[in-house]
Amino acid sequence: MIRVAGFLLLLLAASAYAESLTGRVITVNDGDTLILRIADRQPVKVRLAGIDAPEYNQPYGKAARRALSAWVSGRTVQVTVYSRDDYGRVVGTLDVSSQNVEAALVKQGAAWVYRRYNRNPHLLELEAQAKAAHRGLWALPEDQRIPPWVWRRHDKKTGSLTTTSSASTPPSGCGAKRTCSEMSDCKEAQFYLKSCGVKRLDRDQDGTPCERLCKDQ
């Protein structure tokens, strides 16, 4: 009995000291990913937990990025760390001025609840309310309301799954470059990703190409 009680105390102590980060947001990559500067440390890329915002090149993607920017850009935020993903990003919940940002984004229709990874049942209630009120992405025509995880899985070329859209012709400035090692700087990498459709430059699909070139942008 004493051993069990001691073990429970250790578990409680571990949860009480869950990792947290406090820093200023210096970049908003898209509707659910940002870069945080923490004192003298290297910038940290943070992926918001429990939600999935539209990809930048899908319907409502740019609006989703603006929604997150409105909440956090240039502000000091607190991150409760859940884990680190396969791309090295911190995954956690985000609070600014005691407001949970994930809940705020879902409530205004700027993101889906990422059911596969969500730990917060309240987000599902907020999503249902946003959908019923046709807020944000829920005001889009039904064929444009494509969950980002579906978009990423099925659309690697055109940037759209709607029946009315088709792949656009790359602008004349697009050359034959296809890898990060061929890019001279972040600006060129951004051009090839967004204008030329070279998706391989953004392997983790967070909207930022060639992480080493663009990490401080």
pLDDT digits (tens, 9 = 90+) for 184-216: 888 888 888 887 888 888 877 778 888 888 876
Task: Inform me whether the pLDDT recorded for 89 exceeds 50.
Answer: yes
* CB contact at 8 A, 51 and 113: yes
Distance CA 124, CA 113 (A): 7
Task: Inform me whether the pLDDT recorded for 159 exceeds 60.
Answer: no
pLDDT digits (tens, 9 = 90+) for 41-66: 889 999 999 999 999 999 999 999 99
* CB contact at 8 A, 54 and 148: yes
Distance CA 139, CA 69 (A): 21
* CB contact at 8 A, 107 and 128: no
Q: Which residues are catalytic?
A: 47, 55, 89
pLDDT digits (tens, 9 = 90+) for 13-45: 444 446 999 999 999 999 999 999 998 888 999
Residue 214: φ, ψ to 5°: -110, 10
Query: Under DSSP, is residue 94 helix (H, G, I), strand (E, B) or coil?
Result: strand
Residue 27: φ, ψ to 5°: -150, 135
5-19, 109-123, 149-163, 165-179: least confidently modelled range? 5-19
Provide the pLDDT for residue 11.
40
pLDDT digits (tens, 9 = 90+) for 92-142: 999 999 999 999 999 999 999 999 999 999 999 999 999 999 999 999 999
64: left (phi over 0), alpha (psi -120 to 50) or beta: alpha
**Could you tell me the domains of the chain?**
18-154 (2.40.50.90), 181-214 (no CATH)
Instruction: State the sign of the Cα–Cα–Cα–Cα dihedral 196, 58, 152, 157.
Output: negative
Provide the pLDDT for residue 199.
82
